[in-house]
Structures are given as structure tokens and as C-alpha cells.
Structure 1
């Protein structure tokens, strides 16, 4: 755990399981270990942002933002905001954007 400016997270383990109807199957279970684009840990605050893009066509992405506060040493609770975008397949009139938010708990050693 880093509490100073410029600190890094070591051995980060993060994953997301998305249960919303209509989200493409390959975007429902993602490992986010290498997808952190922003992190902030200062005092009692922990903020993380993860972003993943599908490597094949059609384009799809997942953006997950987590904002928490410490409730005890190494445990943070707060809220998350999730946005999933997927280019519709050809001749598909389905949705192309899904959003969710809710409660989240994070553990830091």
C-alpha cells in the first residue's frame, strides 16, 4: 500500500463480473490487474479507475471508477460507477451502452 505521492500498487488483483442483461458475453467477466489507468490513495481515501477495450472487432469497452474511504486498516468502502460500451453487431438494433453504480468494498495490504 502506498500513502505518498507517486506511489504504486504492487501485486494488484482486481476483477469485475457484470450481470446486466445485454452486455456482450466476452465483456462480462474481466480481470483488471493490468487495466488500472488512475489510482489515488491518500489518508482515508482510495480511488481507482480501470479501463479495458476488446482487442477484436467490433469495438467494446468497460470503464470502472471506484471511490472509497477507509473503514478500518486495509478495508475501504464506497461507491463504484460502471460504463460498458459495445458497438452493435451488423444488423443489430440492440443497446450499445450500459451503466450501473452501487456499493463496493476494497481490501489493501
Structure 2
């Protein structure tokens, strides 16, 4: 039987059932948690990229009009402006003449 290792400063007055709640995780569990965290971060990055692409596409389809782009995405103009700022999307202004 493997000896039990407890987290620092932990005592187990409740017996074996309570002791199992405070065992130090083994290396496999730590690796699994790290891999899970990496996958979660990759998912967040893909979600951000997707949202940025949607904002840019809506702006392009609305001919550069932020209000129309916002409505097409179901956002208020203020929310849309926030997303443009968040993703550093700069609207180009062209002055002809």
C-alpha cells in the first residue's frame, strides 16, 4: 500500500475519507491539469480570433458604417466600438478631393 501524502499544514481529524480529500495530486494528475489548462487557453485564443474576424467582416459588409455593422451582429454601436478598440481595429478614413 502506498503511503499517504497530505498537503502542507493539513490534518485529518475526520479519518480516511476526509484524508482523501486533501491528498497531494500525483504527477499524472498535475500533467493532465496542465494540458487541460493549455487546451482551454487555445480555445480562448480561437474564440478571440473568431470574434475579431466577425467584427471585421461585419464592418466590411456594412461599408464601414459602424452602426449598421453593430446592428447586423445584434450589438449596440457602443458595444461594437468597444470590440473595435479591444481588437485594435482601426477604421480607415479616406478624404477624396
Query: What is the TM-score with the length of structure 2 in the denominator?
Result: 0.20
Q: Which has the higher contact order (CA 8 A, sep 6+)?
A: 1
Larger radius of gyration: 2
Query: What is the TM-score with the length of structure 1 in the denominator?
Result: 0.19
Q: Which has the higher strand share?
A: 1
